[in-house]
Amino acid sequence: MSELWSLTATEIGAGLRAGDFTARAVAEATLARIDAVNGPINAVVERCDAQALAAAEAVDAALATGDPLGPLAGVPVTIKVNVDQAGMATTNGLQLQKDLVAAEDSPVVANLRKAGAMIVGRTNTPAFSLRWFTRNSLHGATRNPRNAALTPGGSSGGAAAATAAGIGVIGHGTDIAGSIRYPAYACGLHGLRPSLGRVPAVNFSGPDRHIGAQLMAVSGPIARSIPDLRLALEAMAAPDLRDPWYAPVSLQGPSVPRRVALCVAPDGMEVDPAVESALRDAADRLSRAGWIVEEQETPPLREAVRHQLTLWLAETRRGADEAIREENDPDSSLVYERLSAMTPAVDVNGLLDTLQARAGLSRAWRQFLGQWPVMLCPVSGQLPFKDHLDTESQSAFEGIVAAQMTQIGLPFMGLPGLTVSTGTVDGPHGKTPIGVQLVANQFREDLLLEAGEALVGATAVNYAAVDISAG
């Protein structure tokens, strides 16, 4: 038998029900894995040993009495430090919030617990969850376990690095501008950004967020296999009316034609030849699996990026400007300065215009995805970036933003997206993960998962071989 920490969620469920091992044994193996590999990568910044073992005991007790088990019973998971978990600090990578201890779980964390998941640790994020790189003054830097020269992604870089290294089977992440999809891409994993309203999530440790974050920020899973993403979504999406955006929509939608729009360079974005090659190979695989694939032009995306950044910066200028100065984290201060240089401030009329534009853009995209139920496009226009490239120069930063057009723009319309890892290529910094993105209409995550499984199958990608000597 494989080591217990290396099993998928589906394998753990089958093994527990067959009596091959106990949930406690899985929890202990995963905690030992943290001991062995977390040092060099710094993905988990706060451990939850006691909570994990208590959850394991509850699963084993249910097995002993024949009580029903949840979809993630006995499955080790990690939680990002920007989400409330009772008794733990919701730091969001900030010195300012190191003592902000949550009194109760966010609905997404509560749902994972109800599904039987064992929370083994909390994962790192950049300060303010503001970058596609993961480093902060409180918890330090997270490194990519597949290639330390590359970013692990951000802002859920800790979640992806942990999952790739075998620390937890499923990593909880959040995504407002790619923070699930991009870390999955950089770490050679699959990552699902659900639709707005699919997964209930709110932090009771602070005030409600402003309208932009309410419309664009979601919680979702990162995993090594598509079946594990499906299980994780089922668990995370359980009803919780404490989130006013939660929508009780079935996880399985009506049948639609299996048609895929191949969009190699959405709205004219520049795309690296290796990324284009991965997209065309993915299109061929889907065609062989029976999907009709045709190359298409997308509705406007640059405009959505501009409006997304306008909302993001308007809220940051009003609600976090002083906190960024007080935290004085070098990375977040620099990124905020560079984003501000790219995004002029707007008055209330500009804000109203931005929200009005969202209706038209959402209409255009939903009509497009009505005709083409799945879109195949880049996760990023470039291979995973050299770590901390965004701090090198304003021009480097602007190049990164341009490459992240699909990461930033698609959330503006509330659409779901799935990063699918398709292998590795030889990049300028060595062996580099690569993948593609699938996009569908709101609440059609089922189509994304179906297409993802048609693309890469149900087999899990391999774990990263962490260089423990680096620790």
Is 195 known to be catalytic?
Answer: no
pTM beyond 0.95, yes or no: yes
In the numeric block, which tokens belong to residue 269? 């974005």
The mean per-residue pLDDT over the stretch 302-315 comes to: 95
In Å, how far are 323, 361, 446 from 378, measured between CA atoms? 34, 20, 20
- pLDDT, one tens digit per residue, over 399-451 is 999 999 999 999 999 999 999 999 999 999 999 999 999 999 999 999 999 99
CA quadruple 377, 383, 384, 388: dihedral, nearest 10: -120
Given the residues 155, 156, 195, 380, the one annotated as active site: 155
- Collapsed DSSP state (helix, strand, coil) of residue 75: coil
Determine whether 259 is exposed, middle or buried from the number of CB atoms within 10 Å of its CB (0-12, 13-18, 19+). Answer: middle
- Collapsed DSSP state (helix, strand, coil) of residue 78: strand
pLDDT for 465 equals: 86
Name the pLDDT band for 390 (thresholds 50, 70, 90): very high
DSSP 170-205: EEEEEESSSTTHHHHHHTT-EEEEPPTTTS----TT
Q: Running DSSP on this structure, what letter comes out for residue 385?
A: P
Domain of residue 77, CATH code:
3.90.1300.10
Is 386 known to be catalytic?
Answer: no
pLDDT for 320 equals: 87
Distance CA 428, CA 387 (A): 12
Contact 323, 333 (CB under 8 A): no
Distance CA 150, CA 336 (A): 22
pLDDT for 468 equals: 56
The mean per-residue pLDDT over the stretch 296-303 comes to: 98
- pLDDT, one tens digit per residue, over 263-298 is 999 999 999 999 999 999 999 999 999 999 999 999
pLDDT for 466 equals: 84
Does position 469 have pLDDT exceeding 70, yes or no?
no
Given the residues 106, 129, 156, 179, the one annotated as active site: 179
Q: Residue 92 sits in which domain range? A: 4-470
Does position 349 have pLDDT exceeding 80, yes or no?
yes
Is 179 known to be catalytic?
Answer: yes
Given the residues 80, 225, 332, 380, the one annotated as active site: 80
CA quadruple 330, 203, 243, 85: dihedral, nearest 10: 120
State the total domains in the chain. Answer: 1
Distance CA 78, CA 189 (A): 15
